[in-house]
Amino acid sequence: MSRRNSREIPPPLELECLDVLWRVGESNVRTVQEALAGRRPLAYTTVMTMLERLARKQLVTRRKTGRHFVYSPEVDRDTVRHRALRQLLDSLFDGSRTALVGFLNAGAGPGNTFASAAAGAPIGGAGSGQVEGGDADIDAVLL
């Protein structure tokens, strides 16, 4: 995977800021900071830095309104999910959907919280779709 592709997935703090923008739409730094305050209190300048980084990566757009910038998500949640899944698949499973599905099925024991949360959806079993098909198939299985 190229270095550029590995940067398409924002780091956790940037992703939290992007999540706020997905939920509320267009926002300024203060609004994002207040929305994050329940999960983690952050300085105004920290949130501003995260939003600026997202803007440089072209994941959000910004426009000046008065004395402040207003930020809007440029990329949707599903695009970021798809990129993250692709990165996971390529880096940990050598690009093999079969290996990923096998891993998820093998971890379906009672102690595996991820498998327990996803227990309602069959993975790779009858009626779950074609695992080796296109990208949409893996997204349907995992999302």
**pTM (2 decimals)?**
0.69
Amino acid at 85: L
Q: Which two tokens stand for residue 143?
A: 């999302």
125 pLDDT more than 60: no
Residue 120: its pLDDT value, please?
54
Question: What's the pLDDT tens digit per position in 23-52?
Answer: 999 999 999 999 999 998 999 999 999 999
Residue 21, number of CB atoms within 10 A of its CB: 22
Mean pLDDT of 130-143: 47
| C-alpha neighbours within 13 Å on the C-beta side of residue 133 | 11
Q: Which domains does the chain have, with CATH numbers?
A: 3-73 (1.10.10.10), 93-142 (no CATH)
Asked if 85 and 91 count as a contact pair (C-beta separation under 8 A), the reply is no
Residue with tokens 């309104």: 65
Question: What's the pLDDT tens digit per position in 59-103?
Answer: 999 999 999 999 999 999 999 999 999 999 999 999 999 998 998
Q: Which two tokens stand for residue 10?
A: 């924002």
Residue that wins the pLDDT comparison between 103 and 17: 17
Three-state secondary-structure class, residue 80: helix
Amino acid at 129: G
